[in-house]
A and B are shown apart, each in its own frame.
Chain A
Amino acid sequence: MSSNAQSLPIDISNLCKAYGSVKALDDVSLNIAAGEFLTLLGPSGSGKTTLLMALAGFVRPDGGSLKFGGREMIATPPHKRGLGMVFQSYALFPFMTVAENVAYPLKIRGVSKSDQKTQAERALDTVQLGGYGDRRITQLSGGQRQRVALARAMVFEPQIILMDEPLSALDKKLREHMQIELKALHEKLDATVVYVTHDQREALTMSDRIAVVNHGRIEQIETPERLYRQPHSFFVADFIGESISAPVNVANDRAQLGERVLKSDLPIAQGRGGHRLVIRPELLEVTAGAVPETANDLSGRVKDIIYQGDSVLVIVQHDSAGEINLRVPSNRAGQTGLPSKGEQIGLALHPEDTIIVPEHVA
């Protein structure tokens, strides 16, 4: 959709909100660039939805500042913030047709009847629901309802669109399809998108940047790849992707697993609590002979081999790290030279993949 309006940056600073003694937002500061797709990722109860609702104006913070395009919005009522919103429950009006739902924001804004119709149709076309305007909401499938909610949120060309777990009610296949579609749609729209989810894979797939939220604070904010490869804390490493971990001793920027010094190209983040070595199952390399000197040696004995369709999970017993999970593709290349249960296996963890993190961020 072409748009005269330009997407707006969002500047959040020192946002606080407490429910009783629980801090839902603990001094949150965050700058979102114009046109960015930013995901708030966190477990339930982390405060990510509270943050989104504070952006929307449905939650009144105890203090802080919230600027859209440099303009202070903290005290602006929700209907004057000019946001597009998509709810987890879709929140489509059941007594209106699809077209009436999509035209709702236009009707409120006093757009003429004929313009309402053409703009609503165009929005429905954008979400591939052209010709569905006269249907009732009850006649639509979950995925179609989701698209209607999207069309309704963007039909008036808002500069900022907020989405609260919009795909969580869909089944896995449809969800993955919609992730790709939403991402493509964002590239077409000139809007800043703030997206809430608890699904790390969804966040990795769609976002420009991901803000990991925990206990009302932003634990880390990064691009998907850097977040995955260089987490700042064990919480982030554990929440994003699959991993197992082992405690390590850190002294003078050197980490030791048992007696062995770990080679790592990644900076060791400082923080509270002890450090841990994070091992992602797909980053381990099976070596035919001895593990090369340049890599960390995590060799052990194969305890179990579990076939999981697209991949094979190998559980390896290591003398100081405990059980290590290794994931290899289930194709022939992945299976060649794989020892069987009970045998010794050579495992290399390369320095660029050796992630050592503190328990908590500072």
Chain B
Amino acid sequence: MSIAEAYEGAGTLQNASTLKSEERRESLTFLGLSMPAVVTILIVVFLPIFWLSSLSFYNAAGELSLENYARIFESALYRRTFVVTFQISIVVTVICVLLGYPLCYWLTRMPDKIAAILMVFVLVPFWTSVLVRTYAWLVLLQRNGIINSSLMSLGIIDEPLQLAHNLTGSIIGMVHIMLPFLVLPLYATMRNIDGDLVRAAVGLGSSPRGAFWRVFFPMSLPGLFAGIVLVFILSLGFFVTPALLGGGRVQMLAQRIESTITVYSNWGAASALGVVLLLLALAMIWLMNRVFGLDKLFMR
């Protein structure tokens, strides 16, 4: 039933066509405003992904084949790279949660002004270049670095600890870089938890500890989940820090992709690795959503 029919019998609708064209003009304006962003995303994100992904389906001879993918699943080297990448990402995520959750909780309990100042300590490193921070860690962690020399002068250790150019160094550096990605969404979520809810739980008989686990913790889960996904996915594809602090002993996926191109000039193989990484990341997001069952929590 058209609008005109709906009003039939009520006489003619005044200015109906003017109002209708006004409405059409308004929706066109909104479409026009969003177009630049949509086009930009299409050109700089989706087009390159599509193009690079398509490379993976061609072998060295330029023929269409699944050779590149077959190699990933057959080669023990590639398999190990995937396992190491996941192991490191999981460890980094777990450490970030263990450090970040108590930090955020503590921040939410501070008076607003002090919390704002303390947040600066989280944000300033966040705004500093990853490269700068990674080299700073190298200075701190190397054999004759500040940490080793102070520990030795204090007589706590006799020989320098092997802190850089290995897995330990990579993980220390990655945790430092990734922590803000966990803290920011988690802190935002925690701040929005109504203090009355925890008070209500305590007032109704929960011990402070019980109120935390039964009320505060479940309500902080959406933020924690967002932080975990960010840290984990970013860790999966992290390049700079593990490359520099790992000293070549730690080979994560991004480094493997880089060496496949710079050393072997094999764009097809590198592209296949990238596609697998992308699919794994998407699968992880989907899986985590299932495990955490967060659609329920997000529903307010």
Contact = CB atoms under 8 A, between A and B. Distances in A.
Interface of A: 56-58, 77-79, 82-85, 87-89, 91, 93-95, 104-105, 108-109, 136, 138, 152-153, 156, 162
Q: Which 4 A-B pairs have the closest CB atoms?
A: A91-B200, A85-B203, A91-B196, A105-B204
Query: Chain B at the A interface: mostly helix, strand, loop or mixed?
Result: helix
A79 B202 contact: yes
Nearest to A109: B205
A82 B297 CA distance: 30
Contacts of B211: 79
Contacts of B206: 79, 108
Nearest to B200: A91
B182 interface: no
A79 B209 CA distance: 11
Contact of A89 (B194, B202, B204, B297): B194
Given A94-B300, A95-B218, A95-B297, A87 B199 contact: yes
Nearest to A86: B200
Interface residues of B, number: 23
Interface of B: 194, 196-197, 199-208, 210-211, 214-215, 218-219, 296-297, 299-300
A120 B201 CA distance: 16
A153 B205 CA distance: 11
A153 B204 contact: yes
Given A79-B208, A105-B204, 6 more contacts: A58-B202, A58-B203, A79-B211, A91-B200, A93-B201, A95-B296
B204 A85 contact: yes
Contacts of A58: 199, 202-203
A136 B205 CA distance: 23
Contacts of A94: 219, 300
B194 to A, nearest CB: 6
A156 B210 CA distance: 18
Given A91-B197, A94-B300, A104 B219 contact: no
A91 B194 CA distance: 8
Contacts of B207: 79
A181 B86 CA distance: 59
A83 B203 contact: yes
A88 B300 CA distance: 19
Contacts of A77: 208
Contacts of B218: 95
B197 A78 contact: no
Contacts of B204: 84-85, 104-105, 108, 152-153, 156
A105 B205 contact: yes
B197 A93 contact: yes
Given A87-B196, A108-B210, A95 B202 contact: no
B175 to A, nearest CB: 30
A109 to B, nearest CB: 6
B205 A138 contact: no
A162 B202 CA distance: 13
The listed residue with most A CB atoms (<10 A of its CB), out of B204, B211, B296, is B204
B21 to A, nearest CB: 38
B177 to A, nearest CB: 32
Contacts of B199: 58, 78, 85, 87, 91
A94 B205 CA distance: 18
Nearest to A83: B203
B219 to A, nearest CB: 6
Nearest to A87: B196
Contacts of B299: 136, 138
A152 B205 CA distance: 12
B196 A78 contact: no
Contacts of A153: 204
Contact of B200 (A57, A82, A87, A95): A87
B300 A79 contact: no
A85 B296 contact: no
The listed residue with most B CB atoms (<10 A of its CB), out of A83, A88, A91, A104, is A91
